[in-house]
Amino acid sequence: MSARVYETEVLVIGGGATGSGVMRDLALRGINCILIDRKDLNAGASGGNHGLLHSGGRYATADAETAAECRREGEILKRLAPECIDDCGGLFVAVEGDDPEFANKFPEHCAGAGIPSEALTAAEAREREPALPENIIAAYAVPDATIDPFRIVLENVGHAERLNDSIYLPHTEIEGFEINDATITKALCRDRRSGEPVEIRARQFVNASGAWAEKVARLAGCSDVSLLYSKGTLLISNTRVTNGVVNRLRLPDDGDILVPGGTVSLLGTSSVTVDDPDGIAPTVPEVDRILAEGAAMLPVLNETRFVRAFSGVRPLLKSAGSEADGRKANRGFELFDHEDQGLCNFASVAGGKFTTFRLMAEKAGDLVAGRLGNSEPCMTNIEPLPSGDALRWTEPGAAARDWYRRADPADMVLCECEMVARSAVDTILADAPGAEDHMSLKAIALRSRIGKGACQGAFCAMRVTSHLYDRNVYDSPDGLRQMRDFVKERYKGVRPVLWGAQMPQTELAEILHCGLAGMDLAAAEEGADSK
């Protein structure tokens, strides 16, 4: 099979926040890019986090440099991408049994990183957050916020595409590089959907593949990138439990942060060192520990309905002591130019936080632009991020507002939990970055709120799939396989939280998917055919 061939100035590997940030940074400098990911946008840590836009308070005690970096970058993103951010504020609270000495030193540590903090009485803290318990011994307000990680990555890619015809290729996996005279001449890739080989010729290559950065660097013969994989698990409630972010006032540990995410809240997180970033999933013991720790800070969590758990892998830079405990690993990032590895047109950027992705992209952009002889400065620190019409559907409530505004009785709602209508799905199919001829249900969900409500796809999986058949997006049994894959992925997150109200909800989903759609029989037949 002959390879599909592309040519560009820069190939960026990794469709997370950093990769999309590099793509936009370079496009603003007039540099053409191709962005690839072996799966889709936000398939790694950028889509597996709690959405906290750090004030820096969480790291002020142990890592003042990272804390200050988070503060500065958070301020920039609040100013330039407000449509992606809920500037809800945050609290750090200590409860009975926590270390009073640690709490007393917190404002001093915040001041050292330039982070504003305000001491509150227990009554003042509970007035801001009524769900807090009576046994508060200390509380401080900080400028935490939340960010929609899916929307900001979509907006980065969408803006780059509009600026200079840079393109994004999903499901394109890097398999190796062709190297001549210390220069990479092409990336050897494969389309994971069709199996077709893909060659991408570029002048510069940027490895921004997150937890897979070490593996990609090895493909180029570079041994200088060394990562620690720290798995973190989070729980999603079906309601917004607090007005703002609530942190436990102690060194970061399991179950010590609750982050509002639109109409829901995310409770986490854990830290478990793993050997490989692939194939991770939340476990019941992780869920139990996170909930037990979180309830000490917010007792209302004991009665809260949780609809899903999910896991992501933090790509942390290895350092002394970090292999034993991911909590001790530095949260900073590093840019590798790989020149001491014998390559002159390859760079890797690794580590860091979602909050610092723009800075990571800026540093990579400076290096690459300089190598290309481009003297244009970074613009992402002053240029507002424009919003595209097809990129706003990840915002909770956006689809509902649009549907009510349209008042079109023919515009059927496909996802009742999140009020996503056919018109929203059609817009995504037409204009969203990475839109495909046969777009999967998972890809549509990544670009919208499909499947994210309490029923976790019980109804909308079938409704959206039916609509895609009506639109001739699907024209074979492959559409049913896409639906089954989507439901299976959602259930992986539902299974660890199967108690209380979520149990009958899942039984209803089983009746619909197996009793009505025969998905269990279809799966069995498919398995038999493959033997």
Residues 252 and 355 both lie in one domain: no
Residues 246 and 344 both lie in one domain: no
Residues 139 and 154 both lie in one domain: no
Range of the domain at 168: 4-45+150-226+331-371
Residues 252 and 130 both lie in one domain: yes
Nearest to 17 by CA among 9, 29, 25, 7: 25
268: which strand partners?
A: 234, 257
Task: Note whether 168 and 433 are within 8 A (CB).
Answer: yes
Contact partners, residue 508, CB within 8 Å, separation at least 6: 455, 458
Task: Note whether 254 and 289 are within 8 A (CB).
Answer: yes
CA distances from 175 to 9, 172, 188, 382 (A): 20, 9, 6, 36
- What is the structure's pLDDT at 331? 73
pLDDT tens profile 443-475: 999 999 999 998 999 999 999 999 999 999 998
Query: Rounded to 5 degrees, what are φ and ψ at 16?
Result: -95, -160
- What is the structure's pLDDT at 515? 84
- What is the structure's pLDDT at 526? 56
pLDDT tens profile 184-206: 999 999 999 999 999 999 999 99
Separation between Cα atoms, residue 48 and residue 233, nearest integer Å: 8
Residue 56 lies in a domain: no
DSSP for residue 406? H
Q: Which helix (H) or strand (E) holds 452?
A: none
Residue 69 lies in a domain: no
What is the 3-class SS of 198-219, one letter each residue?
EEEECCEEEECCHHHHHHHHHH
Task: Note whether 103 and 60 are within 8 A (CB).
Answer: no
Nearest to 17 by CA among 352, 445, 318: 352
- What is the structure's pLDDT at 528? 47
- What is the structure's pLDDT at 530? 47
**Cis amide bond preceding 269, omega within 30:** yes
Assign residue 275 the CATH number of its domain: 3.30.9.10
Nearest to 283 by CA among 254, 262, 256, 260: 254
- What is the structure's pLDDT at 388? 77
Q: Are strands 90-95 and 145-147 parallel, antiparallel or unpaired?
A: unpaired
Residues 363 and 491 both lie in one domain: no
Q: Tokens 């009485």 label which residue? A: 121
Cα 513 to its chain centre, rounded Å, is: 28
Residues 423 and 524 both lie in one domain: yes
Nearest to 29 by CA among 526, 380, 316, 406: 380
Separation between Cα atoms, residue 268 and residue 286, nearest integer Å: 10
The two tokens of residue 526 are: 């498919």
- What is the structure's pLDDT at 142? 98
Backbone φ/ψ region at 355: left (φ over 0), alpha (ψ -120 to 50), beta = alpha
Residues 248 and 300 both lie in one domain: yes
Residue 67 lies in a domain: no
Q: DSSP secondary structure string, 58-82? A: GGTTT-HHHHHHHHHHHHHHHHH-G
The two tokens of residue 31 are: 């540099």
Residue 82 lies in a domain: yes
- What is the structure's pLDDT at 527? 55
Contact partners, residue 349, CB within 8 Å, separation at least 6: 18, 22, 206, 207, 208, 213, 333, 334, 335, 336, 360, 361, 363, 364
Residues 222 and 233 both lie in one domain: no
Residues 130 and 168 both lie in one domain: no
CA dihedral for 498, 499, 505, 506, sign (positive or negative): positive
Contact partners, residue 204, CB within 8 Å, separation at least 6: 9, 10, 11, 345, 346, 347, 368, 371, 372
> Per-residue confidence of the chain (531 residues) as pLDDT tens digits?
789 999 999 999 999 999 999 999 999 999 999 999 999 999 999 999 999 999 999 999 989 999 999 999 999 999 999 999 999 999 999 999 999 999 999 999 999 999 999 999 999 999 999 999 999 999 999 999 999 999 999 999 999 999 999 999 999 999 999 999 999 999 999 999 999 999 999 999 999 999 999 999 999 999 999 999 999 999 999 999 999 999 999 988 899 999 999 999 999 989 999 999 998 999 999 999 999 999 999 999 999 999 999 999 999 998 644 455 555 566 789 999 999 999 999 999 999 999 999 999 999 999 999 999 999 999 999 999 998 777 889 988 888 899 888 889 899 999 999 999 999 999 999 989 987 777 889 999 999 999 999 899 999 999 999 999 999 999 898 888 889 999 999 999 999 999 999 999 999 999 988 887 787 765 555 554 544
Residue 59 lies in a domain: no
Residue 27 lies in a domain: yes
Nearest to 39 by CA among 158, 172, 141: 172
Residues 40 and 178 both lie in one domain: yes
Q: How many domains does the chain have?
A: 3
Task: Note whether 470 and 420 are within 8 A (CB).
Answer: no
Residues 280 and 345 both lie in one domain: no
Task: Note whether 27 and 232 are within 8 A (CB).
Answer: no
Assign residue 164 the CATH number of its domain: 3.50.50.60
- What is the structure's pLDDT at 478? 87
Cα 25 to its chain centre, rounded Å, is: 19
Separation between Cα atoms, residue 7 and residue 121, nearest integer Å: 61
Task: Note whether 385 and 157 are within 8 A (CB).
Answer: no
Residue 64 lies in a domain: no
Residue 57 lies in a domain: no
- What is the structure's pLDDT at 323? 52
Q: How many CB atoms lie within 10 A of CB 297?
A: 26
Query: Rounded to 5 degrees, what are φ and ψ at 270?
Result: -115, 175
The two tokens of residue 17 are: 């926040």
- What is the structure's pLDDT at 522? 56
Residues 216 and 251 both lie in one domain: no
- What is the structure's pLDDT at 322? 47
